[in-house]
Amino acid sequence: MIETLTPIQEQEEMAIMIVDDVPANIQFLGKLLKEEGFKIAPASNGKKALEMIPRVKPDLVLMDVMMPEMDGFEACRLMKESVEMKDIPVIFLSARTETEDVIKGFKLGAADYIQKPFNAEELLVRVRNHIELVRNRRLIIHYMDELGKQNALLQQLAITDGLTGLYNHSHCMDRLQHEAANARRYDNPLTVAMLDLDYFKELNDTHGHPFGDTVLVDVAEIIRSGIREGDVPGRYGGEEFILILPNTSLEGGLVIAERIRSKIESHTWGKQGVKVTISGGLNSLQNGESTSQLVQVADDNLYRAKEAGRNRIMPEQKA
């Protein structure tokens, strides 16, 4: 079932780092921004800001340009080179108003450049706009991740049998074509097993279709537990299952199919007197044999097993 996209949990407070070597500037900006509901983190120069950012994780940095030890330009450059910090927007606040300084700031990756002295109302509008951009970016990333998960689920549902959770008929046929091509290319064995529950119609008629569905689900789980990584289990249709066994000889396929048959025969089904068995037919890919012929021979062997008394596995007939 496809779920609706989950809403993102936004932060109650967005954090803004103020980087300035003049305490009065930090105090004024801090008071202004706190009144707007922002969390404030002060730093006295670019070097301290870089040390604090991984811990504080600010959503926005207001950065002076002219500071001791490390100026704002250098701090911004290093931020944009850091995987951890490159996406944090930087707004320069500076008395350096020459055009070349403004251009340099933007070239280094600044999101905005505000000249000192600044208008407080204008500053707040710009800060709010950039904070909103941060929120929107996070929403986009969040919902892209959610959509990716939903798409992956849809892709899985498209190849899965809804009742048993095994691969569906269509996907199994696609996989069989792929595995047969690999087997021919690398001269590797490939075996197919067709398995069919014995007297399943009678079981449904006697105990009801809900119980029959429970049996199919349990059989699917037994099949999953009896195969190896790389094997392809599928529901071929109704009470019939298919196993695609790459890099497996007929003899190896017989071992796997017999293991599954035995587990089903000995399984307890939750109702007194109920006994479920399965019959199977196998075939290994031969030179010049198509995938449809491969499956047909396995299916023929399955019906030979039925005719021979059921609850058994039949290999292909040898010429």
- State how far the Cα of 271 lies from the Cα of 280, in Å rounded to an integer: 25
Q: Tokens 């064995």 correspond to what residue? A: 189
286 backbone dihedrals φ, ψ, rounded to 5°: -110, 160
User: What single DSSP character describes residue 291?
Assistant: H
How far is Cα 188 from Cα 164, in angstroms, rounded to an integer? Answer: 30
Are 17 and 51 a contacting pair, CB within 8 Å?
no
Nearest to 60 by CA among 95, 94, 14: 14
CB 45 within 8 A of CB 85: no
Task: Report the Cα–Cα distance between both ends of the chain, in Å, rounded.
Answer: 49
SS3 285: coil
**Contact predicate 316/282, CB 8 Å:** yes
Q: Which of 13, 81, 239, 265 is catalytic?
A: 239
| Bridge partner list, 167 | 160, 234
Which 3 state secondary structure label does DSSP give 54? helix
DSSP 198: T
Tell me, yes or no, if 122 is annotated catalytic. Answer: no
Could you list the active site residues?
Answer: 239
